[in-house]
């Protein structure tokens, strides 16, 4: 995301990155709007507004920070939108794109597969292959586009994530993260 913007506008110019981040948030809010209206007319406006308001919690240091989570969310919500629209290949494709931003972007993949199995056992195999093909396509494309950087790509997409996920997490750390005010008063 940063590289093409820096190439066009110069390496020390952050304003274009923040403009892109703002446009990205607006696009994400629009998809949230579509998802909200899908379930109940009128919910779309409130869903999009709530996303915009709490997406950065209005902390000055994080306000429209052009971080990886912000860029991961648009393909992630698009994957949900396309899955609910019955476009399983596109759902997998956008889930794969979200995963390329950050491994948590792959959270929809097992949900899509499980929901496909539970809701339509007869067409599960069809949905399964469309979703997995779509999910894998961004990896295949990036892998072949990177040329001599393929080893780094595989390391950062898979090996580093396995190490990250396998790290122990003590319960005290979880308590401090989930209940910061209560936990500090108790100890």
Instruction: Quote the CA–CA distance of 144 and 54 in Å, as a whole number.
Output: 38
Instruction: Quote the CA–CA distance of 126 and 89 in Å, as a whole number.
Output: 10
DSSP state of 12: T
| pLDDT computed for residue 55 by the predictor | 73
Query: H helices within the chain, ranges in order?
Result: 2-9, 15-39, 43-54, 68-84, 88-101, 108-119, 124-146, 150-154, 160-165, 171-178, 180-186
For the chain, 187 residues long, give each residue's pLDDT as a single digit of tens: 888 888 899 887 778 888 888 888 899 999 999 999 987 787 888 888 888 877 764 555 555 577 888 899 999 999 999 999 999 999 999 999 999 988 888 899 999 999 888 888 888 899 999 999 999 999 999 999 988 888 888 887 777 767 666 777 666 766 666 665 544 444 4
| pLDDT computed for residue 57 by the predictor | 47
């Amino acid at each position: 995301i940063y590289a093409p913007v820096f190439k066009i506008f110069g390496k020390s110019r952050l304003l274009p990155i923040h403009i892109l981040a703002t446009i990205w948030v607006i696009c994400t809010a629009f998809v949230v709007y579509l998802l909200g209206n899908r379930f109940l007319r009128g919910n779309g406006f409130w869903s999009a507004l709530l996303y915009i308001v709490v997406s950065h919690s209005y902390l000055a240091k994080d306000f429209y920070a052009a971080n990886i989570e912000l860029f991961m969310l648009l393909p992630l919500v698009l994957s949900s939108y396309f899955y609910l629209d019955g476009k399983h290949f596109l759902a997998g494709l956008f889930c794969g794109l979200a995963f390329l931003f950050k491994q948590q972007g792959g959270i929809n993949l097992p949900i899509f597969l499980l929901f496909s199995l539970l809701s339509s056992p007869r067409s599960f195999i069809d949905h399964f292959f469309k979703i997995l093909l779509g999910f894998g396509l961004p990896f295949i494309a990036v892998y072949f586009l990177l040329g001599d950087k393929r080893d780094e790509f595989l390391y950062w997409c898979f090996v580093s994530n396995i190490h990250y996920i396998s790290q122990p997490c003590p319960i005290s750390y979880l308590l401090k993260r989930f209940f910061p005010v209560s936990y500090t008063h108790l100890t």
